[in-house]
C-alpha cells in the first residue's frame, strides 16, 4: 500500500480549543493522525492569514509542513488556488522525489524545489513559509541584514541568513539546494531580490516568525528612510530575542489570529 492510500485526513480531528491560550494542547503527545489533521488545519488557516495580510500576489508564495509520520513527505498548497479560499481538503502531499502522493493537483515547481531541499538538509525543520510580501522583498533588494532596532526585530538577531545569489525563478533543484545551503543552521533567510523565508518546529511558529519578519523589514525600511536607527546592544538584543522569540512565545502569538479565523471563516476546515 502506498503512503497516499494509508492517509485519511478526515481522521484525527480534535475539538476546537476555544478562544485564548488556556485550551492549547501539546500536539506532539497525540497520534500521527491527530498531528496530521491538526497540522493541516493550521496550514489551511496559515494561507488564509497570508491572504488577509496581502501576501497573495498571483501564484507566488507557499507554506508547508513535514508529515509527522512520513518524514520525507510534506504538505503544501496546490498551484493556482487563492490563499484566501484554502481548505484542508485542498492541501496536497508531495514526496522528496517530486511525486504527488495525496491530493488532486501538484504544487508549483519552485515551491517543490525550495521546500524539499530545505527539509532534506535540516531534519529539525518541520514547517517552512515563503512569500514576496511588499516590505520583505523591498528590504531584500538592499542586501542588508535585519538589525535589532526594536524589541520585535530582536527575533531575527543572529538567526537570519542572507542568500545573495538570485539566479532566476527557483524552478530547478539548484536554486533550492543553494537556498538550503545559505540557510545552513539559521532559522530564517532573506532571499535577495526575491523575498523572505522562515522555518520552524511547527506551522504556528513558522507563520508567526514570517509575519514578524515582514514587520521588521518594514520597520527598518521606515527608520532608515528618515535617519540612522540606533541598534539595541548585543547582550540586550540576545536576551530580548530569547524572551520574545522562543517557540512558546511565537506559538502563543499566533493563536489570537487563528481564533478569529475559527469564528469568521470556519470553512477553512472543510
Ligand atoms: Zn519566491
207: in domain: yes
When pLDDT is averaged across residues 67-79 and rounded to a whole number, the result is 97
Ligand 1 mean position to 194 CA, how many Å?
A: 6
With cut-offs at 50, 70 and 90, classify the pLDDT of residue 201.
very high
Ligand 1 mean position to 61 CA, how many Å?
A: 6
Task: Provide the residue range defining the domain that includes 85.
Answer: 26-269
65: in domain: yes
Cα–Cα distance measured from residue 55 to residue 18, given in angstroms and rounded to the nearest whole number: 27
Looking at the structure of the chain, the number of domains it has is 1
pLDDT of 1 reads: 82
What CATH number is associated with residue 189?
Answer: 3.40.225.10
Cα–Cα distance measured from residue 105 to residue 89, given in angstroms and rounded to the nearest whole number: 11
Tens-place pLDDT, residues 75-101: 999 999 999 999 999 999 999 999 999
Place of cell 530569547: 242
pLDDT of 170 reads: 66
13: in domain: no
pLDDT of 169 reads: 74
135 vs 171, residue with greater confidence? 135
173 vs 242, residue with greater confidence? 242
10: in domain: no
Ligand 1 mean position to 168 CA, how many Å?
A: 10
When pLDDT is averaged across residues 97-119 and rounded to a whole number, the result is 95
Q: Return the C-alpha torsion angle 40, 66, 128, 43, nearest 10.
A: 0
pTM reported for the whole predicted model = 0.97
Ligand 1 mean position to 157 CA, how many Å?
A: 23
Helix H or strand E segment including 187: none
Ramachandran quadrant class, 116 (left: phi over 0; alpha: psi -120 to 50; beta: rest) = alpha
pLDDT of 81 reads: 97
Cα–Cα distance measured from residue 65 to residue 44, given in angstroms and rounded to the nearest whole number: 11
Ligand 1 mean position to 115 CA, how many Å?
A: 11
DSSP 245: S
pLDDT for 172 beyond 80: no
Helix H or strand E segment including 137: helix 134-140
Amino acid at each position: 500500500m502506498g503512503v497516499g492510500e494509508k492517509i485519511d485526513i478526515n481522521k484525527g480531528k480534535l475539538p476546537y480549543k476555544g478562544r485564548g491560550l488556556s485550551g492549547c494542547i501539546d500536539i506532539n503527545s497525540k497520534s500521527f493522525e491527530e498531528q496530521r489533521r491538526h497540522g493541516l488545519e493550521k496550514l489551511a488557516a496559515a494561507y488564509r492569514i497570508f491572504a488577509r495580510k496581502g501576501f497573495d500576489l498571483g501564484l507566488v508564495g507557499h507554506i508547508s509542513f513535514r508529515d509527522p509520520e512520513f518524514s520525507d513527505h510534506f504538505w503544501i498548497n496546490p498551484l493556482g488556488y487563492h490563499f484566501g479560499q484554502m481548505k484542508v481538503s485542498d492541501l496536497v502531499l508531495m514526496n522528496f522525489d517530486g511525486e504527488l502522493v495525496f491530493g488532486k493537483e501538484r504544487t508549483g515547481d519552485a515551491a517543490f524545489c525550495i521546500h524539499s531541499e530545505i527539509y532534506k538538509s535540516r531534519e529539525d525543520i518541520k514547517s517552512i513559509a515563503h512569500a514576496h510580501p511588499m516590505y520583505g522583498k523591498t528590504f531584500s533588494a538592499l542586501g542588508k541584514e535585519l538589525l535589532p532596532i526594536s524589541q520585535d526585530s530582536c527575533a531575527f538577531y543572529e538567526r537570519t541568513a542572507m542568500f545573495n545569489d538570485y539566479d532566476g525563478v527557483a524552478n530547478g533543484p539548484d536554486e533550492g539546494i543553494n537556498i538550503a545551503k545559505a540557510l545552513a543552521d539559521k532559522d530564517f533567510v532573506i532571499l535577495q531580490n526575491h523575498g523572505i523565508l522562515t522555518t520552524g518546529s511547527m506551522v504556528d511558529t513558522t507563520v508567526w516568525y514570517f509575519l514578524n519578519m515582514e514587520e521588521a523589514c518594514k520597520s527598518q525600511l521606515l527608520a532608515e528612510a528618515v535617519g540612522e536607527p540606533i541598534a539595541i546592544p548585543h547582550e540586550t538584543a540576545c536576551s530580548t530575542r530569547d524572551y520574545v522569540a522562543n517557540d512558546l512565545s511565537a506559538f502563543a502569538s499566533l493563536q489570537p489570529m487563528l481564533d478569529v479565523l475559527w469564528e469568521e471563516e470556519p470553512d477553512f476546515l472543510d
